[in-house]
A and B are shown apart, each in its own frame.
Chain A
Amino acid sequence: MKRPSRKPSAVFAATLAAVAMSQDVLADATYDALKSQVESLQKQLREVKDQLDAQEKDTTDKEVAELRNRVEQVSAQSEEWKNADSVVHLAGYGDFSYTDGDNQNGALSAVRFNPIFHYQYRDLIMLEAELELEVDETGGTTNNLEYLTVDLFVNDNLALLGGRFLSPIGQFRQNFHPSWINKLPTAPPGFGHDQAAPVSETGLQARGGFPLGGESRFINYALYAGNGPILEIVGNEIEAIEAEGRTSNDDDEAVFGGRIGILPLPRLELGLSGATGKVAGEDEPDATRSYRVFGADLAYQWRSLRLRGEYIEQKVGSEASSAAPDSAKWQAWYTQASYRFAPTGWEGVVRYGDYDSPHDSSDQKQWAVGVNYLFAANAMAKLAYNFNDGANGSAADDDGFQVQFAYGF
């Protein structure tokens, strides 16, 4: 039995071969399948990735574009604020005071509100106007147009103003009288209304400044032509001179004047003022007489020390045809020093002033001392005492103290 004995081995071998072959075939098939699966996965992955990339790029591009857009909008808007042709601005100040003194009842004696309006068109024109609203003794309110001018900026050295303006004579009335600026609650003697210093004027004015050559040296000027003041005549005496920017000109003669200020050093200003023209009494427009003003002023600041001084005189000539034929002169001067104890808000101030008028009863020499507290550059509480020396028994002789709170905005 040879054959059968070989048969099993052949069968075995054949089986083996078959198995091997089938395994081979099998392996090839799986491999191919897997490979194609992987490939398709890879492809899908790539597609997904591409898609994602595209999406991401899309969104960042969009975000960036949106952001840029927004930035542009915002900056355009802020430019719009900054560079609009016309600007409207509200400034001003308010104050209230309490006064008490010899022969006087203590009272909350003044409540004032002075709004200032500014309208500016480019760098070409500005309208400025200030009102003064003040509570009076009876509880009513008086109002006053302190100034209104239209200013035309002609060039870097010249602005032309027309309207009613603060008198450019001297420095107290135009530069220091607002209550948040004035270091004392009161004006120096002679620098109030209808006293030695002209308060305002109605007319035309040219103002500006020039560099004087060298570092920080400047000159400024103000020249005006206006209606001028009027005299109040009572009996055969001139009672007062009213230099308050009238819109009438009874004597039909303009007053010309101005001021030149020199700044030889930073923070030091020396000024000279003058005016000349004709003036008449209220009820006698034809009895005109000469009118002359002279003033000199100084302001210096060294750190927190401020020194100020000013002299002013108004003179009217004699006029035979007037009920009050005599000439008259009003003169006043003051010096003031204030020192702020930086960095605190405390400040001390001393002022000496002397006012001389044709009426002895209103003449006054005054020492004023004060202590201030500055809450901010524009908000100040003041406490002051005035030692007054005037004609015996007159109000100008009464000492008194004042408390004031002033706020500028």
Chain B
Amino acid sequence: MNRITAPKISNLIPAVYLGLTVAAGFAAAPAGAAEASGDILARGAKSWSENCSRCHEMRDPMEFRDDLWRPIVTHMRVRAGLTGTQQREILAFLQSANNRAAEPRKVSTDRAVQGASAKSAQTGADIYQQTCVACHGQNGTGSVPGAPDFTATDGPLAKDDGVLLRHITEGFKTPGSPMAMPPKGGNPALGAADIQRVLTYLREQFGGASR
């Protein structure tokens, strides 16, 4: 009489789970670094602003080159228990937000970008919600260290349109501030018309008529 000892079901569950996830994981091998779309950047900015200052001071996206952010974000994924999706979105955001104010862009690319964004014709509110809200917050008072309060009467909106358009387009850092404003908020797809629209939205929403 062979007595088969049945392994306890409870012992099997973790093994089965592991087996399944391993199989699923290797099947869905990591996708290559596809061009980040606006949506991914927006989700990345949000995840970044919600997670990356939980344990330590927020590290400025401009602090590291693209290739260095990769192992750092992987390291942080393990440390903070982030999901792979969060890891990829945050990495895409950091890699796009660390561009220094570029040398004057070639006209042709600018035109192409403007053309593309003119087609989509997002409203200023759309752009704000997609690209800016992660750092500047729903109410414009700032949700990451260093982001200014747009509603303050002597805040940044007291500056001229020209200055603000340039600062949004090229990025901006007040000396000593803990973090820089990334060029175009880290979304390179924004064209001049988009930036004008989002600035108009800032003024309407958070005060200070255009001057």
Inter-chain CA distance A408–B51, complex, in Å, is 19
User: Nearest CB to that of A376 among chain B residues?
Assistant: B178
> Is A304 on the interface with B (CB-CB < 8 A)?
yes
**Chain B residues near A189 (CB, 8 Å)?**
none
Q: Which of B32, B33, B46, B53 is the one whose CB lies under 8 Å from A301? A: B53
B25 close to A155 (CB less than 8 A) = yes
B67 close to A120 (CB less than 8 A) = no
A343 close to B178 (CB less than 8 A) = yes
A218 close to B78 (CB less than 8 A) = no
The interface residues of chain A, by DSSP majority, are classed as: strand
> Is A1 on the interface with B (CB-CB < 8 A)?
no
Inter-chain CA distance A83–B35, complex, in Å, is 12
Inter-chain CA distance A118–B77, complex, in Å, is 13
**Chain A residues near B78 (CB, 8 Å)?**
126, 128, 151, 159, 161, 207
Inter-chain CA distance A151–B60, complex, in Å, is 26
A155 close to B67 (CB less than 8 A) = no
Q: How far is the CB of A166 from chain B (nearest CB, A)?
A: 9
Inter-chain CA distance A175–B81, complex, in Å, is 11
A377 close to B67 (CB less than 8 A) = no
Q: Given A155-B21, A218-B83, is A180 in contact with B66 using a C-beta cutoff of 8 Å?
A: no
User: Nearest CB to that of A180 among chain B residues?
Assistant: B56
A87 close to B67 (CB less than 8 A) = yes
Inter-chain CA distance A390–B58, complex, in Å, is 37
B83 close to A211 (CB less than 8 A) = yes
**Chain B residues near A344 (CB, 8 Å)?**
176
A207 close to B50 (CB less than 8 A) = no
**Chain B residues near A83 (CB, 8 Å)?**
32-33
**Chain A residues near B174 (CB, 8 Å)?**
343
Q: How far is the CB of A147 from chain B (nearest CB, A)?
A: 11
**Chain A residues near B85 (CB, 8 Å)?**
156
B30 close to A82 (CB less than 8 A) = no
B176 close to A343 (CB less than 8 A) = yes
**Chain B residues near A161 (CB, 8 Å)?**
78
Q: How far is the CB of A271 from chain B (nearest CB, A)?
A: 10
Q: How far is the CB of B91 from chain A (nearest CB, A)?
A: 10
B24 close to A181 (CB less than 8 A) = no
Say which one of A9-17, A261-269, A315-323 lies at the interface with B. Answer: A261-269
Flag A82-125 by CB within 8 Å of B: 1 or 0 each.
11100101010000000000000000000000000010101110
User: Nearest CB to that of A268 among chain B residues?
Assistant: B54
In this complex, how many residues of chain B approach chain A with their Cβ under 8 Å: the count is 50
> Is A209 on the interface with B (CB-CB < 8 A)?
yes
**Chain A residues near B21 (CB, 8 Å)?**
154-155, 157-158
> Is A340 on the interface with B (CB-CB < 8 A)?
yes
Inter-chain CA distance A181–B54, complex, in Å, is 11
> Is A31 on the interface with B (CB-CB < 8 A)?
no
Q: Which of A84, A304, A377 is the one whose CB lies under 8 Å from B59? A: A377
Q: Given A158-B21, A340-B145, A377-B178, is A123 in contact with B75 using a C-beta cutoff of 8 Å?
A: no
Inter-chain CA distance A157–B66, complex, in Å, is 24
Inter-chain CA distance A122–B63, complex, in Å, is 22
Inter-chain CA distance A209–B79, complex, in Å, is 11
Inter-chain CA distance A87–B66, complex, in Å, is 12
**Chain A residues near B75 (CB, 8 Å)?**
91, 118, 126, 128
**Chain A residues near B22 (CB, 8 Å)?**
154-155
> Is A176 on the interface with B (CB-CB < 8 A)?
yes
> Is B72 on the interface with A (CB-CB < 8 A)?
yes
B54 close to A207 (CB less than 8 A) = no
> Is B102 on the interface with A (CB-CB < 8 A)?
no
Flag A196-208 by CB within 8 Å of B: 1 or 0 each.
0000000000111
Q: Which of A91, A156, A175, A374 is the one whose CB lies under 8 Å from B84? A: A156
> Is B82 on the interface with A (CB-CB < 8 A)?
yes
Q: How far is the CB of B103 from chain A (nearest CB, A)?
A: 14
Flag B21-39 by CB within 8 Å of A: 1 or 0 each.
1101110111011000000
Of A89, A221, A374, most buried by chain B (CB within 10 Å of CB) is A89
B54 close to A299 (CB less than 8 A) = yes
> Is A210 on the interface with B (CB-CB < 8 A)?
yes
Flag B78-116 by CB within 8 Å of A: 1 or 0 each.
111111111000000001000000000000000000000
> Is A387 on the interface with B (CB-CB < 8 A)?
no
> Is B12 on the interface with A (CB-CB < 8 A)?
no
> Is A378 on the interface with B (CB-CB < 8 A)?
yes
B54 close to A301 (CB less than 8 A) = yes
Flag B132-154 by CB within 8 Å of A: 1 or 0 each.
00000000000001100000000
A299 close to B55 (CB less than 8 A) = yes
**Chain A residues near B18 (CB, 8 Å)?**
206
6 sampled A-B residue pairs with Cβ under 8 A: A82-B95, A89-B68, A91-B75, A120-B70, A377-B56, A377-B179
Question: Using a CB–CB distance below 8 Å, which chain A residues touch chain B?
Answer: 81-84, 87, 89, 91, 118, 120, 122-124, 126, 128, 151, 153-159, 161, 174-176, 180-181, 206-211, 216, 218, 220-222, 261, 266-267, 269, 299, 301, 303-304, 340, 342-345, 374, 376-378, 408
User: Given A153-B74, A153-B84, 5 more contacts at CB 8 Å?
Assistant: A118-B72, A120-B70, A211-B83, A374-B178, A376-B178
